[in-house]
Amino acid sequence: QATVKSFYSSTLTYDSDKFFRIGNTYTYYYQAIDIVVNITGNYTLKSNCTMDTYGYLYNNSFDKTKLSLNQVKQDDDSGGNLQFQLTSVLHSGMRSILIVTTYSPNIRGPFSLIVSGPATVDFRIYPTAAKSSSTVTTTTTTSTTSSA
């Protein structure tokens, strides 16, 4: 079966949303991204950047004041080189929200995502209380590779 890759790029900035992790009072910048799939299947979501990233995957909704609610998975370094990698079955018609943040507090910078699975995915900014002046640039490209 062919593996299809989808790519997304953006930046955590001063204007990005912020939250506190459970058990501490440090500020973490984050971006919440809807991962929209048209074909149910096993997908791998991996970060690719120079920051030490941390990823959370949620079903249905995300509330930064209730971090454990609807959380499916979280990961720090499974992708190697301080990158997160999450593998999960994503369902067509079900909302999946990826939270891209950093391992250490108060870190900002550019990041990219590579999502591999049975079909392309669409990336949409999850509606949060972000400042309306925030600018997000996304680039989506697709490549298909067949495994022998």
All structural domains of the chain, each given as residue ranges with its CATH number in brackets, are 2-128 (2.60.120.380)
Give the residue among 38, 4, 44, 41 at the shortest CA–CA distance from 122: 38
Beta bridge partners of 77: none
Position 45 pLDDT exceeds 90? yes
Distances, alpha carbon 106 to alpha carbons 11, 15, 51, 102, 146, in Å: 13, 12, 12, 8, 40
**pLDDT band at residue 127, thresholds of 50, 70 and 90?**
confident
Looking at residues 73-86, what average pLDDT do you find? Answer: 98
pLDDT value for 111: 98
Query: Alpha-carbon distance 130 to 15, whole Å?
Result: 7
pLDDT value for 141: 53
Main-chain phi, psi angles of 117, to 5 degrees: -175, -165
Q: pTM above 0.75? A: yes
- CA angle, 11 as apex, 15 and 27 as ends, to 5°? 50
pLDDT value for 38: 94
